[in-house]
Chains A and B, each alone.
Chain A
Amino acid sequence: MSEYLIEVKDLCKKFPIKGGLFGREVGAVNAVNNVSFKIKKGETLGLVGESGCGKTTLGRSLLRLIEPTSGQIIFNGQNIVNYTPAEMRAVRRKMQIIFQDPYASLNPRMTVGDILAEPMEIHGLHTEKSKRKARMLELLNQVQLPADALNKYPHEFSGGQRQRICIARALAVEPEFIVCDEPVSALDVSVQAQVVNLLMDLQRDLGLTFLFIAHDLKVVEYISNRVAVMYLGNMVEVAESSELYGHAKHPYTKALFSAIPHASTAGRAGRIILEGDIPSPMNPPSGCHFNPRCWNATEECRVNFPPITNQSGTHQYRCYNPIK
């Protein structure tokens, strides 16, 4: 067994674009393009980027909720890309996902008890009635919800509490790996902090491994050991979170961090304002995809796609003219 729980190699996901009279394939969107990374056991990898950069597609492909086009996903030493649905089901017990919108991801007609029981039913866990009840109460306790929540419906809870229910549901099958897809984006600031603390406590107590997807860089930097930055389907930089914030190499990372408004009046100056929008992933710019918005771009950037620098090290980036 290696120290890595999950290892992704050259993962690609193409979405075909259909057009013309007979719906022929006229092109493809490279939502995720040759992405490789590893996550250690008990570690949190943060994944940031603007909307449409492929964060969510990547997160879902790891669980094969979206079928990847090519590449390998090695989970616990096994490549799960070609697993049959039955084999996949066994693996899914070990990998769970928490979605962004706690209002849309809970069935309004099921009580919290039913919601928590369903994954156990599917995976045949705690089949004895009393044991299952005990497990459900334990889960509620872990996410700090009162025991009487079992008989209530989702609408009786606030956003933060619903997200706790979603977390409890993910924990019900005792997973090792959880993809957190923007779990706190829909919550108010004061509630957001409660859920972030809860996730970190659970990770410590249960030894969980997280892929934490968010567009809020402050939360990602806080919760993650390492952070990966995506731009138009490519991973452009990955590093230890404090290293990334302090010494970003890729101009896009630098700009992304500098765009965050700080909750203090000291740092108003020194903002890098990027020109333009994210290009369409259907027709990405040649060379480095970031070159039309980059202030360091040279001729080379417009022609060639930059390779990963420092393949073996902890701080990797794709850039010909990194920031010193």
Chain B
Amino acid sequence: MAEKVLEVKDLVVEFRTDRGAVKAVNGVNFDVFKGKTVGIVGESGSGKSVTALAIMGLIPNPPGRIANGQILFEGKSLVNMSASEMRKIRGNKIAMIFQEPMTSLNPVFTIGNQIEEVIELHQPHLSRSLRTAKAVDMLRLVGIPSPDKRINEYPHQLSGGMRQRVMIAIALSCEPDVLIADEPTTALDVTIQAQILELMKKLQKELGMGIILITHDLGVVAETCDTVAVMYCGQIVESADVNTLFNHPAHPYTKGLMDSIPSFDSTSGSKKERLQTIEGMVPSLFDLPNGCNFQDRCSKVTDACRGSQGDPILKPSKGEGHYVACFNPLN
């Protein structure tokens, strides 16, 4: 069994608003192992990004706060850590890549400056020339051609894919143990996405880091993750290793998500049967129903789902490591 580097336990993140407190993340549990990738999938507003920000200690407070639960990094709790201690871990041991490579780089500094800044903060013993050398190495590592010239360029001189590579170089410059990638390829074209995902896999092998990959694209998950957690309305509704999840989804929501993606089927000439859809919309976090949050969109709904037996909790399903929060799981 691989070494556990990060543990998230019963995490609850609450935001205070004019309409009352709202739980963007409500009781989330998962572990990150060395050299493995955990995928977190869900639609917009399901709490994926808030979970990531909570781990990084970046929840804006107020209005947000971690209301309950623990985040353990190598056994130490990150939740109650002082700001200065957190600063030593953030960017150094736990790094993050954001979705928008266009907006997450500072336009008035060269990319070299921006990589060196991280190294300077976390490895102050390195001299300036060593820092520059390291920045060039990082750019080479992420596959940027002629890195010694590129290092003096500004973000606007690079394409979207190149900027995302720079973001990865920044995140990896201190060789973190955990990398959080929040929709790292959503803003990129498919051919560039394939390059970036391949790069992340290669670097993971070389550096042995644990990755949390946040995405709404089930295809990306199937290609890159070892285990997957599906989130809905701030809760994990199903988690399993990637093969089990794709071959035997147990939660109707997971199944629904998979069915709503058109699949290529070149064999059937007269395809074009209707896409399966999930009826309705994600409920507002302000008035979640009693019982299962998915009840109004679910075809297998029963009285139990409507709250007569409380909220569904994650319970072991068939197969090892397969958990589902559903009263009527599929097979």
Contacts and interface: CB of A to CB of B under 8 A. Distances in A.
Interface of A: 50-51, 158, 160-161, 188-194, 196-197, 200, 215, 217-219, 221-222, 242, 245-246, 255-265, 268, 271, 273-274, 277-278
Contacts of B326: none
B269 A242 contact: yes
13 contacts: A189-B218, A190-B257, A215-B190, A218-B262, A221-B264, A222-B275, A242-B271, A259-B190, A261-B223, A263-B258, A271-B194, A273-B194, A273-B195
B194 A197 contact: no
A264 B191 contact: no
Given A246-B266, A265-B242, A189 B260 contact: yes
Given A189-B43, A190-B278, A273-B198, A263 B266 contact: no
B293 to A, nearest CB: 14
B307 interface: no
Contacts of A271: 194, 198
B260 A192 contact: yes
Contacts of B260: 189-190, 192-193
B247 interface: yes
Contacts of A192: 260
A190 B256 contact: yes
Contacts of B275: 193, 196-197, 222
Interface of B: 43-44, 159-162, 189-195, 197-198, 216-224, 242-243, 246-247, 256-258, 260-264, 266, 269, 271-272, 274-278, 281-282
Given A189-B260, A189-B261, A264 B222 contact: yes
Contacts of B197: 261
Nearest to A193: B260
A161 B281 CA distance: 10
Contact of A256 (B44, B190, B216, B276): B190
Contact of A51 (B44, B189, B242, B272): B189
A271 B159 CA distance: 23
A188 B44 contact: yes
A191 B275 CA distance: 11
A136 B98 CA distance: 43
Nearest to B192: A277
A246 B269 CA distance: 11
Given A218-B264, A273-B194, A274-B195, A263 B218 contact: yes
Given A50-B190, A51-B189, A259-B191, A264 B262 contact: no
Nearest to A258: B194
A262 B223 contact: yes
A8 to B, nearest CB: 24
A51 B263 CA distance: 23
Contacts of A262: 219, 222-223, 263-264
Contacts of B271: 222, 242
A277 B223 contact: no
Given A189-B216, A189-B218, A219 B43 contact: no
B43 A255 contact: no
Contact of B159 (A222, A265, A277): A277
Given A218-B264, A242-B271, A190 B43 contact: yes
Contacts of B222: 261-265, 268
Contacts of A261: 193-194, 197, 217, 219-220, 222-224
Contacts of B194: 258-259, 261, 271, 273-274
B15 to A, nearest CB: 20
Contacts of A191: 43, 281
B162 A277 contact: yes
Contacts of A160: 281
Given A261-B224, A265-B247, 15 more contacts: A188-B43, A188-B282, A189-B43, A193-B261, A193-B278, A197-B275, A200-B274, A245-B264, A256-B191, A261-B220, A263-B246, A263-B261, A263-B263, A265-B243, A273-B191
Contacts of A246: 266
Nearest to B264: A245
Nearest to A240: B269
A158 B281 CA distance: 8
B262 A222 contact: yes
A221 B298 CA distance: 28
A190 B198 CA distance: 27
Contact of A260 (B162, B219, B282): B219
Nearest to A280: B159
Nearest to B199: A273
A242 B263 CA distance: 12
B228 to A, nearest CB: 10
Contacts of B277: 190, 193-194, 197
Nearest to B275: A193
Contacts of B281: 158, 160-161, 191
Contacts of B224: 261
Contacts of A188: 43-44, 216, 282
A280 to B, nearest CB: 9
Contacts of B160: 51
Contacts of B243: 265
- Which are the 7 A-B pairs with shortest beta-carbon distances? A261-B219, A222-B262, A246-B266, A193-B260, A50-B189, A190-B278, A259-B194
A212 to B, nearest CB: 13
A77 B312 CA distance: 61
A221 B194 CA distance: 19
Nearest to B241: A265
Contacts of B44: 188
Contacts of A200: 272, 274
Residue among B192, B221, B243 facing the most chain A CB atoms (10 A cut-off): B192
A256 to B, nearest CB: 6
Contact of B191 (A50, A190, A242, A265): A50
A158 to B, nearest CB: 6
A233 to B, nearest CB: 16
